[in-house]
Structure formats: C-alpha cells, structure tokens
Amino acid sequence: MSRSAHPAGPRHADVLPEGHYTAPPADLNSLDPRVWAQTVERTPEGAVAVGGLDVRRLAEEFGTPAYVMDETDFRARCRAWRDAFGPDADVYYAGKAFLSRAVVRWLHEEGLNLDVCSGGELATALDAGMPAERIALHGNNKSDEEIERAVEAGVGRIVLDSFQEIARVAHTAARLGRRQPVQIRVTVGVEAHTHEFIATAHEDQKFGLALAGGGSSSEAGEGPAAEAVRRVLMLDSLELTGIHSHIGSQIFDMAGFEVSARRVVGLLTRIRDEHGVELPEIDLGGGLGIAYTPEDDPREPHEIAKALGDIVTRECEAAGLAVPRLSVEPGRAIAGPTAFTLYEVGTLKELEGLRTYVSVDGGMSDNIRTALYDAEYSVALVSRASAAEPMLSRVVGKHCESGDIVVRDAFLPADLAPGDLLAVPATGAYCRSMASNYNHALRPPVVAVRDGQARTIVRRETEEDLLRLDVG
C-alpha cells in the first residue's frame, strides 16, 4: 500500500501518525478482482464463496487456518502464460512458489514445464508424473545426490551455478554415460527494484556467475561467466543449450529485463565470435509481480510476452545473432493470486488512539513474508457482510513474537468479533512453501476448490506428525 496521511473518518484517525495504509474503501464488503482469485465472490447472503462454495462451509469442513486455492484460476493462469508466449518459447513454472503433486498434474495437463530447485521438489515432480525432459533443476549448491538423481532421471536441463558444479555435473553425467543439457546462470549487474533479500542479479550475492570481472558490470563477457562457458564447451558429457538470468522477484518495471537481455546477448555474441557456437536459448527467469493490494499494478502475460520478445529480438538483431528460443519462469505470477488464507478471529484489543489488534489462529508460521520482507497484504471479513464503520486494524498471529504480523494496516468493520472469518488474498505463492512449525504450530492444509467441489491436496499437519520426528 502507499504511504499516505491518515484520512479523516475512521476510528483513531485524529491522532494516528502516517503509516502503511490508504484511505478506507468506500465499501468494506467489496472484493477487488485485481487481488482475489477469479471465482471469488460475495453471495447475496453476505458471505464470500470460491468456486461456488461458501467459506463458512470450507471452515467447518477443513478447519482454519487453511490455504484455499482456486483451481480454475490456477489452470487459467497456466493457459494464459502458455498462450501468451506461444510455441516458440518455453514456460517453466517455478515450483518454489508452491508445489504439490496435484499442482504438478495441473501443470502437465495445461502444457507447462517445471523448474525445481531441490531434491524434494524434484522427487515431487517425478512422483506426480511430470516428464523428466520437461523439468529444469536449479540451485546454488546442488548436492551430489541431487545431481545424480536429475541426470539419471533425464531432466531437460540443469542450470549450472558455479565452477565446482560444472565439474560435478560433468563427472556424474560421464559416469552414467549421459550427455546432460545444461545452462549457465549469470549475474548481469542489474539492481532490480525489489526488496534486498529477493534481488538476485547484482554481483554481491550467492547466485550465478558474474558477466563482469573486477566488480564492474559495464562489459559483458570479461568475468567468470565467460570462463564457465569455455569450461562447459570443453566437456563432452555436457551440452550447453543456453544462458540463464534472473534479476529478482515481485518486479513491475520491465527496464531491468531490457538491461539483462542486452548483457546476456553480449555474452552470446562473444561465444559466437570466440567459439563459433550460437546458443539456441535465453532464459530470462521470472520475478514478475502480482497484486497484493489494489495499489499494485501487474502486467498481463500477453503484455509481458510481447515486451520480453521485443527486447530479445531487438538486441539479437542489433548484434547480428539469430533470435534464440526464449524461456521464462513464472511462479508467483501463476500461483500467488489463486489462493487466499482463511483465518478465524480469536481476540481483539483496541489501543485507544492507535489501532485495534485483531488476532487470528495462524500467523508467521503460515505467512512469514510480512515479517521477512515487510510484505503488504489485503484482508477482508468473509463470513458475513457488515455495514459498520471502518476500523483501522493490524491483523496478527498467535506466536510469541511482536513481529508476528499478517497484515500490518487494514480497515476492517468496527463490529468485528471473535468467531468471524477473515481471508487474506494472494497467498498462493511462498506462504505454504515457507511455512514452519514455529511454536510447534501445525502447518495448514491446502484445499483446492473447483466447480462446487473441494478437496484437500496437502493435508493439515497433526500433533502425531510433529511427535513422529521427535525421536529423543
């Protein structure tokens, strides 16, 4: 949300300092379609439904907190990305956003590829039936076991992240009698406009091999990336299929991709001139932003596809290169908007002259992003409609941390009461993936809803699950 002076009208408005909030909406019962999944709507009775199912029924059947995923929306977003880029490009869903066997099956059925970055994600992909040739393996420190499993399974590509990894993958592939397709991840010196912890293309971080040497990003091809190319081309057990770049996450500005593409094309030009090889693919990664609040303004897949295609074509034509195949890796942009987290209100504490603290039955164990990234979310009362005045609120969890905040500043109805249901939209990406057992909390289930039917695709943890691992 934008930072603006607190408007007149809501409770506590006369003394509250400037903060993370905007003016209250004209209608607290409205559901902005930019933030909510496509089948979410408020029913004539006042409650919210998704996929035709009332959230009160979902809470009764599956409990709270719970991640509720709109399967129709997820599949539609997969098709939108696939259709936007067309047959001359590859779309890899970034599994780190959220992965389960059901999601793998949806991806397979909708024609997307899958990017994984751990042995566990690879195991899930293979177990759910994703063809290995449609899987890419990422990671900055892949274990020998992860590399061997990927090569043995025949994954479509391994993205190399270090000189040591070049040797490990080459050795494993040679021992198994394989020629493994690989790409080299490069850092292009782009400072993406995003949080420090999710910017991934500046030189001073753990990912990739720098294009430039000596700490300068002004000249592509002078640094470790060019040396990595030389080493890979010398190894018979590796097939270099392209260059990979990823500049960050939750990005709305395409300017960083333009700089990245220009510098990657500079490396491709040097590879052609020095080695006589024109690589067939560029992967520009993912990181495209979504709307967490109505103030966010993400681009549609067809706009992104056109912008990236134009950038790559223009840079390659200027360099005299054949235009390579383009790959992208949306994760958050597909999964993020498709789910909301359903909570029950437990306690309310009104701090006179400040705000009301609304405690729910989840918290930082099911959504760490607010505490970790200062992420901002929307929230709505979903078990009923309300005509009460707006109340400036902070939605917090039940953990023993003052930083256990779900939504830092939001307007909720002043008649909010224990037992009401709240929903936080746009939690389909990273929330379940990054969930923890802090305070021995039980991680919530993921419930998929489609055409009036709901089913658990990741079950709720139980106390037995926790105790089973405690062998002391």
Catalytic residue numbers, as ranges: 400
Torsion angle, CA of 432/295/354/431, rounded to 10 degrees?
Answer: 0
d(CA 224, CA 244): 14
Is 171 in contact with 142 (CB distance < 8 Å)? Answer: no
Is 232 in contact with 184 (CB distance < 8 Å)? Answer: yes
What does each C-alpha distance from 246 to 64, 287, 339, 465 come to in angstroms?
Answer: 36, 8, 25, 36
Location of structure tokens 């393996």 = 137
d(CA 219, CA 188): 10
Q: Of 27, 88, 20, 16, which Cα lies nearest the Cα of 389?
A: 27
- Which are the contacts of 216, defined by CB distance < 8 A and separation ≥ 6? none
What does each C-alpha distance from 206 to 130, 197, 441 come to in angstroms?
Answer: 29, 11, 31
Q: Is 171 exposed, middle or buried (0-12, 13-18, 19+ CB in 10 A)?
A: middle
What does each C-alpha distance from 51 to 338, 423, 425 come to in angstroms?
Answer: 11, 15, 15
Side chain identity, residue 418 = P
